[in-house]
Amino acid sequence: MTMLLVTRWVHLVAVATWTGGLIVLAALVVALRRAGADRELLRAAARQFGRVSWAAMAVAVLTGVAQVWLLGWPWTHGGLHRKLGLVALVIVLAAWHQRTAPSSSPAARGVVQLLILLVSLAIFGAAVAMRA
């Protein structure tokens, strides 16, 4: 049981880093733009966030898989499928955003960032539903 608790704790820290980081980055970008920050400063902040957030996502996926194994859940568990689908969607959206951001308009980047945040929050909802 201790291994499960440690795995769950690490998983929660990783997903909080990913999702909380999205919220903090959004607020930071708005503040930096209002303060007149140049595009290179915004890019540097985004690159650093990318390093931290992708590491957090990798840890979240690995610890999520470990929890399924430790709990003995079948991979056919319905709630698990919903959560995995949302995780796959957020990974695809984030990767696509990272690749297209340099050539996208601020409005387009904002829409994709909002979608990434909403899907990330939906993952929390799916996780809560699995525990209910």
Residue-wise pLDDT for 38-79, tens only, equals 989 988 988 999 999 999 999 999 999 999 999 888 877 778
% of the chain at pLDDT higher than 90: 68
Alpha carbon distance 104, 125 (integer Å): 30
Residue-wise pLDDT for 93-102, tens only, equals 999 999 998 8
Residue 93 structure tokens: 């959206």
**Residues near 128 by Cβ (< 8 Å), separated by ≥ 6?**
none
Give the pTM: 0.88
Residue 16 structure tokens: 């909080």
